[in-house]
Amino acid sequence: MINKKKKTAMYIAMILITVLVMFPFLWMIILSFKTNAEIMSSPLSLPETLNFDNYKNAFATLDFLQLYANTFFVCIASLAFELVITFCSSFVLSRMVFKSARLKKMIYGFLIMGLSISPFILLFPVYKISVALGLHGKVALIFPYVATSISFNTLLLVGYLKALPSEIDEAAVIDGCTIWDLMVRVILPMAKPVIATVVIFNALYIWNEFPFASVMLRDVTDYTLSMGASFFKGNYTVDYGGIVASSIMIIIPELIFYGLFQKNIVEGMTAGAVKG
Amino acid sequence: MYWLSKKRYKIGLLIPTLLVYCVFIILPIIIAVGYSFTKYSGIGKARFNGLDNYIRLFGDRFFWISLKNTMIIFVLAFTLLLVLSFLIALLLNNKLKGNDFSKALIFSPAIIAPIIVGIIWTYILDPSVGVINGFLDAIGASDLKQMWIGGDTLSPYSIAFIYFWQQLGYLVTIFIAGLKMIPEDVLEAAQIDGATGAQKVRYVIIPMMRTTISTVAVLIITGVFKIFEIVQQTTGGGPNHLSETLVTYSYSMTFTSGEYGYGMSLATVTFIISLIITGIYSFLTREKERGAK
């Protein structure tokens, strides 16, 4: 149906767009093998030799194992915490009977309201509250990450759980289920797809989050990856090669993760967009 | 489920979420607005000073500059993203070999930490070590060299472009999802009636994609007000606050200058602007629901 000339033009456009979008990544990889002197004196040249000094420098300056461990810790702790509490509250709001339907609607609306709140107004007050509660370091990041996920999780979980037929609950109760059995053994397995979406969306957010981390983390041993990335700047000499190499060290695992779960990640992020 | 809807279950299951939400979302907003009426340097006690911060804000040149920059980024990113992501979605929605691979690659900037996005683009836009100026030198067009970032004027435009790069694949994917929802037979009918490609887009596809288009529009609007790391990493708001956005200016006043009271009044004003946008959002979704009926 489509003639050949047109098809060729489409292929050219597709390849051109893809290459243009990917260029910055490719450029970073090239740069990472150039010395600082090469980067400064001839920005456009290709590296003369394949030297790994920048990577060595990055490893010497930043403790990547620690950065990964910290990020992983904050990510897992926040996800576990937020999933437990928002699953419970969403269960109430989607499957329990309220004497006053208005109260239920009000609680739901109250929790959803957070979607319109920009995290930037929260930074300083949350810092003050954390100090007052005696929270500091990477542990102090968990509560803000959990809190900022509540609205999104409620929206998705309540929407999904509401759609499951109420006969399930009735059958479960007749078979002698307690409320815990019903929640954990009946409803939770059925909610797997939406929980996967919630996990992916929030994991990406936490993994990449910078504003809260920059306010809460003072000690280098508490740094998460995004803080590590900004570490090289602000020193007296700008170590261009070191920044590039450490950025690549942070990007590559992300890209591998993306390669493995590409379909779920794209689905999770677009579901968030369409719903939120 | 009535039998299990006991009051103590409901309260017990709701309390943890409500508690975290109130302490870390609602209370901070109250605190922020509270501080915005005070003078507070972080040491000692905050001193109430009424509307002083807000009066200062309206007379503050840098507030207007950051508002202007935010608007430049908004208009430019909005136009570029809406038009080009739609066109690329149309292109990649064709049956082309390798288009899934191409989609996956174009999407990838959206999953990278924004702080890294800022770093990557520094090496492209930087006036002295960046690719663009290096390239212009190499082809003998040194006259065209610009201070893409860190100069007096071009930074917000560059930031809009970086944001465009970051969001493009994401929005293309959303548009493609929308395109897939258009029934095949409608397009075939248009084909039989002799519609050209452009006519199909103009009279069939765009009207049928109204919901998706408004979703994407809202995503861009709210997204622009969350651009932070890119500015922080490329220019740091400088030189002399000339490239600040509303968000980075309030951050810099609060955490760099330590003017917590004034910083919070900036944050509050930014928040109110974002609330107005939420108003537009709910207006658009109401429209959408009416359309669905």
* B146-194 confidence digits (pLDDT tens): 888 887 888 999 999 999 999 999 999 999 988 888 888 888 888 888 8
pLDDT digits (tens, 9 = 90+) for A209-223: 999 999 999 888 889
The answer to which of B19-28, B231-240, B265-274 has the lowest mean pLDDT is B231-240
Q: With bands split at pLDDT 50, 70 and 90, how would you rate the model's confidence at A91?
A: very high
pLDDT digits (tens, 9 = 90+) for B186-230: 888 888 888 888 888 888 888 888 888 888 888 888 888 889 989
Predicted local distance difference test score (pLDDT) of residue A1: 53
Predicted local distance difference test score (pLDDT) of residue A274: 56
| In contact, B224 and B241? CB cutoff 8 Å | no
Nearest-CA distance B141 → chain A (Å): 14
Taking an 8 Å cut-off on Cβ atoms, the answer to whether A85 and B134 are in contact is no
Mean pLDDT for the stretch of residues B229-254: 89
Q: Does B276 touch chain A (CB under 8 A)?
A: no
Enumerate the residues of chain B whose CB falls inside 8 A of the CB of residue A244.
119, 123
ipTM for the complex shown: 0.87
Predicted local distance difference test score (pLDDT) of residue B3: 64
Nearest-CA distance B58 → chain A (Å): 19
| In contact, A261 and A200? CB cutoff 8 Å | yes
Which residues of chain B from 165 to 204 reach within 8 Å of chain A, CB to CB? Answer: 165, 168-170, 173-174, 177
Question: At the top level of CATH, which class does the domain A62-271 belong to?
Answer: mainly alpha
CA A219 to chain centre: 22
The CATH architecture of the domain made up of B46-292 is Orthogonal Bundle (1.10)
Q: Measured between alpha carbons, how far is B213 from B215 in angstroms, rounded to an integer?
A: 5
Predicted local distance difference test score (pLDDT) of residue B292: 42
Taking an 8 Å cut-off on Cβ atoms, the answer to whether A147 and B228 are in contact is no
Predicted local distance difference test score (pLDDT) of residue A174: 87
Enumerate the residues of chain B whose CB falls inside 8 A of the CB of residue A123.
251, 254-255, 267
Predicted local distance difference test score (pLDDT) of residue A178: 86
Average pLDDT, chain A: 86
Q: Which three-class secondary structure state does DSSP give residue A236?
A: coil
Which residues of chain A from 15 to 34 reach within 8 Å of chain B, CB to CB? Answer: 15, 17-18, 21-22, 24-25, 27-28, 31
Predicted local distance difference test score (pLDDT) of residue B23: 95
Q: Does B98 touch chain A (CB under 8 A)?
A: yes
CA A235 to chain centre: 28
> Which residues, 6+ apart, have CB-to-CB distance to B248 below 8 Å?
B66, B228, B231, B232, B237
Predicted local distance difference test score (pLDDT) of residue B285: 62
Q: Is the pLDDT of residue A236 over 60?
A: no
Taking an 8 Å cut-off on Cβ atoms, the answer to whether B20 and A111 are in contact is no
| In contact, B209 and B182? CB cutoff 8 Å | yes
Q: Does B205 touch chain A (CB under 8 A)?
A: no
Q: Is the pLDDT of residue B137 over 90?
A: no
Interface test with A, best of B18, B20, B125, B251 (most A CBs within 10 A): B20
pLDDT digits (tens, 9 = 90+) for B51-65: 888 999 999 999 999
Mean pLDDT for the stretch of residues A235-242: 67
Q: Is the pLDDT of residue B291 over 80?
A: no
Residue B202 is classified by DSSP as I
